[in-house]
Chain A
Amino acid sequence: MQNKTFYNEILTDHNLHPEHKHELENANFEMDGVNPSCGDEIRLKLRVDDGIITDGAYVGNGCAISQASADIMLDLIIGKTKEEAMRLSDIFLRMIKGNVTDEELEELEEASVLQDISHMPARVKCAVLGWHTMEEMFKEDKES
């Protein structure tokens, strides 16, 4: 039994006051992500110009972890190339599995607050929802 709650200020702030939770009119990438066991759902929208993510947003419903994680992700990837975003996503997903170096953790900036979720199997799906959705989005684009 954990005695310390996982909900630190960074997480609750991103949940209650998300910067990127809104519609995005000029998006050219869009993907739905659903976590059926919890009922978390997000719709992720990105604007990509010349391979660079120039803007991004999401809308959805779900627990604080799923929503805050998506907001934190957007903070991190806006302004980066698609490849860079995919590389950060890979680091994030490895962090959740407990397989990450300290240098890599630093690259994740605020997203590193979700590191401890690796000890809470029931919440992992919530934390990775946004990241998985982005990966799917770019993979699908590559295939088409």
Chain B
Amino acid sequence: MNKNPETEIKFSDKFTEEDLKIRADFPLLNKYDMAYLDNAATSQKPECVLNEEKKFYEEYNANPLRGLYNLSEMATEKYESARVTVQKFINAASEREIIFTRNASESLNLLAYSLGDLLLNEGDEIAISIMEHHSNMLPWQHAAKRKGAVLKYIECDMQGNVTEEELESVITEKTKIVAFTQISNVFGRLNDMKRLAEICHRKGAVLVADGAQSVPHIPVDVRALDVDFLAFSGHKMFAPMGIGVLYGKEEYLEKMPPFLTGGEMIDSVTREGAVYAELPHKFEAGTVNAAGAAGLAEAIRYIEKIGFDKIEERENKLTAYALWEMGKISHVKVIGSEDPDEHHGIITFTVEGVHPHDVAYILSADNIAVRAGHHCAQPLMKHLGVMSTTRASFAFYNTMEEVDRFIESLKDLRRKMGYAE
């Protein structure tokens, strides 16, 4: 990235002490004078996480779970202790219920194959919401085709709200699997997973929760919610790219067939077949991303140090302020609820007469990073009657000054596109 010092404006002098203290932890935020508002796509990484990953390679690097020498045991210990950190973070009953994957997408693909094989027969039904990210939609479309099952959609209204009646009518005794996002990456609305789990279990279905947008922003307790599975990505929660998690109740994971096969997921192999390893290693074929797991554990410790109280307080304040200011700009229309508490840092919007790619581009010229497009939710976009949209998404390290900057650029946007305001 080139920086032009002549036109560069320093906003950091307007940051509060708390802003500065938090932002000091993130090397990238201090490298560029940029408002990074694309946190729902991926988050920035604090220095402690980067150091932890580096430290793994400098001090612990050997192939975990294999070697009979001390260094490999140290690597194994590092990797397995990361698993326990994740287990405690989401309050899973056992570390055997924590599978490391690359990301939420891989977790969901694993489920669609393996759980699909375990549960689905011809004519069975899978129910997913229309607001699912493609990652929690395409694997189920594929599983339905593969098993001759029927994929049904749970519809939402224009604010992303799903009614009890809709849930009760789409989820039936024929439904074997329900896959639902805890927080939509378009609306930012929190779906009531506990209530959904009750409905699913009453009808004999298992509930797969997509936690990609929720786990980084709110406390998620898998036992309190009683979800059967939870998928999330490390990279959206300040951890490195390439490490993700699948939580699953042991009773299901035990019965599910392996997804990928290969090294270190077996007990013994003969010419005819294999005896698979115990949980969780049954689902972790090949050399694992142990450094990534160590980074994820450090990210969790970092989140716990900041505290979800503080994270939510800051994110909600930013969202409320941005929504309030956006409400004053004519031609800007926010998708979803008018209530800031229903957004969890995600604001998806349109600017009348300006294509989202042009919106993102003009914001980018003012050093503001947002996402534009269909947000990997094309069926939802169609449902909402928009081609594509722009999305600003906050993390707790964003500041009110960055919101100001975003609003100023947004105000001037239509004029820059040739409209006489």
Contacts and interface: CB of A to CB of B under 8 A. Distances in A.
Whether chains A and B associate is yes
Nearest to B33: A1
11 contacts: A3-B4, A3-B367, A7-B416, A16-B417, A39-B373, A39-B374, A39-B388, A62-B355, A63-B361, A123-B357, A123-B361
Which of the listed residues A2, A3, A16, A123 has the most CB atoms from chain B within 10 Å of its own CB? A3
Interface in A1-40: 1-7, 9, 12-13, 15-16, 38-39
Contacts of A7: 358, 361-362, 416-418
Contacts of B387: 39, 61
Interface in B385-421: 387-388, 416-419
Contacts of A12: 416-418
A3 B365 CA distance: 5
A126 to B, nearest CB: 7
Nearest to A61: B387
Contacts of B362: 5, 7
Contact of B367 (A1, A6, A64, A123): A1
B378 to A, nearest CB: 9
A1 B1 contact: yes
Contacts of B1: 1
Contacts of B416: 5, 7, 12
Which of the listed residues B8, B353, B361, B362 has the most CB atoms from chain A within 10 Å of its own CB? B361
Contacts of A15: 417-418
Given A3-B7, A3-B365, 12 more contacts: A2-B2, A3-B8, A5-B362, A5-B365, A7-B362, A16-B353, A39-B373, A39-B387, A63-B358, A63-B361, A64-B358, A123-B357
A134 B32 CA distance: 41
The bracket for how many chain A residues form the interface is 20 to 34
Contacts of B4: 1, 3
Contacts of B356: 63
Contacts of A65: 357-358
B370 interface: no
Nearest to B354: A64
A126 B361 CA distance: 13
Contacts of B34: 1
Give the top 3 A-B pairs by smallest Cβ distance, nearest first: A12-B418, A63-B355, A63-B357
Interface string B260-283: 000000000000000000000000
B328 interface: no
A7 B2 CA distance: 19
B417 to A, nearest CB: 5
Interface string A53-97: 000000001111100000000000000000000000000000000
Contacts of B388: 39
A38 B418 contact: no
A2 B417 contact: no
Contacts of B374: 39
Contacts of B365: 2-6
B103 to A, nearest CB: 21
Contacts of B3: 1
B364 interface: yes
Nearest to B419: A16
B374 to A, nearest CB: 7
A34 to B, nearest CB: 13
A63 B351 CA distance: 12
A7 B418 CA distance: 9
A45 to B, nearest CB: 22
Contacts of A5: 361-362, 365, 416
A3 B289 CA distance: 39
B413 to A, nearest CB: 10
Contacts of A9: 418
A105 B361 CA distance: 25
Which of the listed residues B355, B362, B374 has the most CB atoms from chain A within 10 Å of its own CB? B355
Nearest to B365: A5
B247 to A, nearest CB: 33
Contacts of A4: 7, 365
Contacts of B7: 3-4
Contacts of B8: 3
B229 to A, nearest CB: 31
B189 to A, nearest CB: 24
A118 to B, nearest CB: 15
B387 to A, nearest CB: 6
Given A7-B417, A39-B374, A39-B387, A2 B357 contact: no
Nearest to B420: A16
Contacts of A62: 355
B358 A1 contact: no
Given A38-B373, A39-B388, A61-B387, A2 B419 contact: no
A65 to B, nearest CB: 7
Nearest to B417: A12
B355 A64 contact: yes
Contacts of A123: 357, 361
A3 to B, nearest CB: 4
A6 B373 contact: no
A57 B272 CA distance: 66
